[in-house]
Each structure stands twice: as structure tokens, then as C-alpha cells.
Structure 1
Amino acid sequence: MEDFLIYLRLGFDHITDPGGYDHILFVIALCAVYTVQQWRQVLILVTAFTIGHSITLALATLQLIKYKTELIELLIPITILITAITNFFFRESKPRGPVISQSSTPIGRYILALSFGLIHGMGFSNYLRSLLGREAAIVQPLLAFNIGLELGQLVIVSLVLAVAYFLLDIVKSRRLRWVLIVSGVVAGMALSLIINNEYLHEFMQGK
């Protein structure tokens, strides 16, 4: 039980660590267009992301799939940038209309979260494999680590929705402005990660 709690804490700390803020940026971009009143939609969206990264986290940790770590580290900020860009097409709904209106259908956004979750899962597995080393029994650590990731993810989502509630429902800021500012900041930070990625530099130089 003690080992389970250790890996659970490691998973929680990994996704909430400001030093490795790429996963935090993705969750923020994913939830930026939603409000507290839309928590059901957010739950489905987060579940789609969870399913995606749980699949590849398990497969990669169990060494059932192989990939280039450097490529995944480049693809993760690309997923963040794409998600943030889709938010720019957000359109504020009318009071009597649906609670959210976007150029892409909701199912498309869920598929996006699921697909990008597959990429992030491989990123999570890099860290978990380094923790496990040559440890033989990895199923329990894998489960605990994944639960820790989800708890941390829920904390991030809760904070984003809480800030949105304060600004939109209490301060009465415009929802479109909130979405564009948050998404713009996230897109800028993701673009910086892409530009400074060593694998991209080597690829561009033909190495």
C-alpha cells in the first residue's frame, strides 16, 4: 500500500509540476472555452483525454510499443498549439441558444482530446519508466501513477473553471475575451516550446 501511495503522489506531482508545464498548458487549453455550468461537457472531454493517455501510458510502460522520445517531446507542444488555435474559433452563444458554440462539433473536440491523449501518454511513460528502472512488478505502480495523474488533472481543471467563474460570473468579463486571452497565452508558450525543441533543430539541419 505504501508503494501504491508513493507512485500515486509521483503521478500527481508530475502533472502539476510547474517545471514541466507542457501538460498543464494542454489541460488549460482544453478547458478554456468552458464554464462551471458546463462541467458535464468538461468531464466528458477530460475522460476522453484520460482514455487516450491511459492506453499509451500502459502500452509504453509495459514496452509493448516503441517510439522516439525526442519526437514525442516535440509532438506534445504541437498538440497544445493546435488545441489553443481551435479555441480562437470559439463563438459566444446567445442566452437562449446552446451553452457552447464552436466551429467544430463537440464530438470533434472529444476525438481531438482522445487522439492527443495518446501522445501525452507516451510522454508520461518516459518519466514513469525512469522511476521504475528494472523493477519487475510494474502493474501496480502503473495504476497508482495513472490515478495520481488524474487527480492532478482534476485539480488543474477545477482551478481553470474557478478562475473562469470568478471572471465571467462575478467580475462579468466577456467570455470571448477570456477565451482569446487564455488561448493566446497558451499558444504563445507552446510555440516557444516548439521553436526551442532540439529535435526540430536537428531535423531542420538534416541530422
Structure 2
Amino acid sequence: MSQFLIYFQLGLKHILNIYSYDHILFLIALVIPLSFKDWKRILLLITSFTLGHTVALLLTLYGIIAVKVTVVELLIPITILIVALFHLFTAGKSGKKESLNLVFFITLFFGIIHGLGFLNYFRNMHHGASVSKLLAILESSLGIEAAQLVVVLVVLILSYIVQTVFRFSKRDWALVMSAFIIGIVLPIILGNEIWLR
């Protein structure tokens, strides 16, 4: 198998496995109020998240920053909670749309936090490899981007079915899914070992 495929699959598997439910929850929370007609915005959000993820890997693998794993494990579900709460409180409300630049930078920042969570997994997979770290990171980032697009496509199809076949309003669907996500991440946040010290 080629080096590209190895690292591309590493990125795919990072997202598309049962243990990456936090990443999948973040993606669901991010796009739940959106639909297929918002494809440009979705692509921008997903790509900015991947970019943040990649920047975090680069900064940590090259020793520019160091963050405790327990802090990252707390921050990841907090980012999910923030996005879900935002949609819970803004579902169905019309008015001034949030700035695309602001949403881009927030998503980029959250991508950095999630990228810090990928560090140990990436290090273990890359340990002893002869390929450059930079190339390996870029190849795995392409896999991450592809996997995220698959997850988002599934979420959009499910949203479409729920809203057309079962006649949920966009607002109700966003409320239900946001509450569901909050119900999953709150126990994760409260059960983090940082509180046990």
C-alpha cells in the first residue's frame, strides 16, 4: 500500500470509527441547522475545521506548543457543548445572521482543539516511519476532510428525510438534535478526570 493511502486511511479511520463519536457529534452539531442549499458554507466550515486540526498537529509535533491531554479531553466536549447550545438557543430565530468570518474563526479554533486530541494517535501511527511528518500530516488531513464530508453528507440526508418525510420543522429538528448532543456531552464533561483532582 502506498504511503499516501496509509496516511489517508489514518485520517479516515480517525473520524469514521466508533471511538471518534466526539468528532462526529461536533460535526452533527455544526451542520444540524444547515441543508444542502448551504453547501458552500458547509464546505467552508468543514475545511476550516480540518485546517485547524492540521495546524494543531503541526504545532505540537514540531514542539511549538504542548498541552496536557486531560485539558484537551475536557475542551473537546466543551466545544461540542458550545455549538449545540448555540443552536439550541438560536433555532428558528430570524434576524441578523452571524458573520461568516466569525463562524470561520470559531470553527478554526475548535479544529485546533480537536487536532490536539489527535496528537497521541498520530504519534503512535507515525512512530518509526521514514516519511516526513509534514507530508504524513497533510495526507492524513486529506483523509480527515474526506471522512468529515461523508459524515456531513449522512447528516444532511437524515435531516432532509426527517424534515420532509416526518415533517419536522427545521427549528424542531435543530432543537431535538441539539438537546440530544447536549445530553451526551454533559456527562462526558462532568466525568472528566480533571474534576477528580
TM normalised by structure 2 equals: 0.90
Q: 1:185 to 1:43 in 2, by over 3 A?
A: same
Once the two structures are superposed, the pairs formed by residues 136-155 of structure 1 within 5 Å of their partners are 136=130, 137-155=132-150
Contact 1:84 1:183 in 2 (8 A): yes
Q: Aligned residues, how many?
A: 196
**Per-residue deviation at 1:107?**
3.3
SS at the partner of 1:173?
A: coil
TM normalised by structure 1 equals: 0.86
- Give deviations 1:8-56, integer Å, cap 9, x for gaps: 1111011111222111111110001101111111112212212211211
List gaps (5 residues or longer) in structure 1: 94-99, 203-207
**Per-residue deviation at 1:90?**
2.4
Q: Which residue matches 1:163?
A: 158
Equivalent AA in structure 1 for residue 34 of structure 2: Y
SS at the partner of 1:130?
A: helix
Q: Which of the residues 173, 179, 190 maps onto 2:174?
A: 179
Q: 1:184 to 1:48 in 2, by over 3 A?
A: same
Q: Which residue matches 2:6?
A: 6
How far apart, CA to CA, are the structure 2 residues paired with 1:37 and 1:44? Answer: 13
How far apart, CA to CA, are the structure 2 residues paired with 1:69 and 1:19? Answer: 16
191-200 vs 77-86, which deviates more? 191-200
Q: Which residue matches 1:108?
A: 102
Q: 1:58 to 1:22 in 2, by over 3 A?
A: same
Equivalent AA in structure 2 for residue 8 of structure 1: F
How far apart, CA to CA, are the structure 2 residues paired with 1:102 and 1:185? Answer: 26
List gaps (5 residues or longer) in structure 2: none
Once the two structures are superposed, the pairs formed by residues 42-191 of structure 1 within 5 Å of their partners are 42-92=42-92, 104-136=98-130, 137-191=132-186
Equivalent AA in structure 2 for residue 82 of structure 1: I
Coordinate RMSD, CA, aligned: 1.9
Contact 2:56 2:116 in 1 (8 A): yes
- Give deviations 1:130-173, integer Å, cap 9, x for gaps: 21124353222212111111111111111111111112234332
Contact 1:77 1:194 in 2 (8 A): yes
How far apart, CA to CA, are the structure 2 residues paired with 1:91 and 1:55? Answer: 31
**Per-residue deviation at 1:101?**
5.4
Residue identity over aligned pairs, in percent, reads: 36
